[in-house]
Amino acid sequence: MADLSTVNLNRLITFVAVVDAGSLTAAAERLGLAKSMVSKHMQLLEAEVGVALLLRSTRKLSLTEAGRAFYDSSRQLLLQAEQAIEQARSGRAVPQGTLRVAAPIDYGVMVVAPVLSQLRLRYPALKVELVCGDSLIDLIAEGIDVTVRLGKLADSGYMAARVGRMVRLLVASPDFVARHGMPVDPQALAPLPYISLTVLRQPNVFTLVDHAGNHNEVRMRNIVFSTNTAPACRAAALAGDGVLRATWFSVKEDVAAGRLVRLLPEWSLPEGDIHAVFPATPHLPQKVRVFIDALKEAAGD
């Protein structure tokens, strides 16, 4: 067994920060250290461990095979240490440290960012880092504490907590409706110009349900604008490009202000759930717990 007294464990924090940030310079900024100090820590750590961990070049920094295994173990060690400290302080300490959150772009901007800002006001010792993107990420590999996912969850080894419901509706701009007319039934939707969010499993096919429980599948045939982000879809709808299948949280202010109007209000799209997803752990970190509670409060359901 290795003699831990020969290794400065504080350097593990610097090493993990270097890998997460992708460079010595970015890690130095994140840690508030000089780049020369970060470089020195890495040299000393490699000497203490006895193997090369990083491959350095003028263009990029990468891990050796030993460095990759050492990084994975170091991240787990630091996470367990953080959880042990939080567990010991449970009930008397406030959330602190850095909370790293991932979320879809539109939900992250419109819902998660304000929630995180309110948490910062409530818990000044807490720092936050929000990563927005519409593709699935590996929480462990990316060092994410909790991610928000909309709709059906894929099978994984992660834990999940429902934080709200996802309501969707069909909208278009008043100018679009003036040009093309207000559709009177689901069949009238199919030939209309349509704005497609390509990251959806079936971006151009959806089912509508009326108050009597009748189902009607609609296949939009006239795709005029396709994009991989929901904010770009919203922008296209506001510009009058076409019909948009949107989440309520992303367009509710536009509908209230009359910038967008709801189509076929007597028909609805199936609702989904919004979940906070986090790595399985015997003790949920306090910073993750307060974030999940704040999201539930913001959802109001």
pLDDT value at position 212? 87
The domain of 277 spans 94-165+273-299
Domain end: 70, 88, 106, which one? Answer: 88
256-267 pLDDT per residue, tens: 999 999 999 999
Domain end: 88, 103, 131, which one? Answer: 88
User: pTM (2 decimals)?
Assistant: 0.65
279 and 238 co-located in one domain? no
55 and 116 co-located in one domain? no
161 and 278 co-located in one domain? yes
- The CATH number assigned to the domain holding 106 equals 3.40.190.10
193 and 233 co-located in one domain? yes
- 59-63, 110-114, 268-272, 274-278 — which is least confidently predicted? 59-63
65 and 78 co-located in one domain? yes
133 and 191 co-located in one domain? no
286 and 159 co-located in one domain? yes
Q: Is the predicted pLDDT of residue 276 greater than 90, yes or no?
A: yes
- The CATH number assigned to the domain holding 258 equals 3.40.190.290
142 and 172 co-located in one domain? no
pLDDT value at position 86? 64
Q: Please count the structural domains in the chain.
A: 3
281-292 pLDDT per residue, tens: 767 888 999 999
145 and 261 co-located in one domain? no
250 and 196 co-located in one domain? yes
Q: Is the predicted pLDDT of residue 247 greater than 50, yes or no?
A: yes
Domain end: 31, 63, 88, which one? Answer: 88
Q: Name the pLDDT band for 5 (thresholds 50, 70, 90).
A: low
Q: Name the pLDDT band for 148 (thresholds 50, 70, 90).
A: very high
Q: Name the pLDDT band for 211 (thresholds 50, 70, 90).
A: confident
172 and 262 co-located in one domain? yes
161 and 277 co-located in one domain? yes
- The CATH number assigned to the domain holding 80 equals 1.10.10.10
Residue position matching structure tokens 């750590």: 45
pLDDT value at position 186? 94
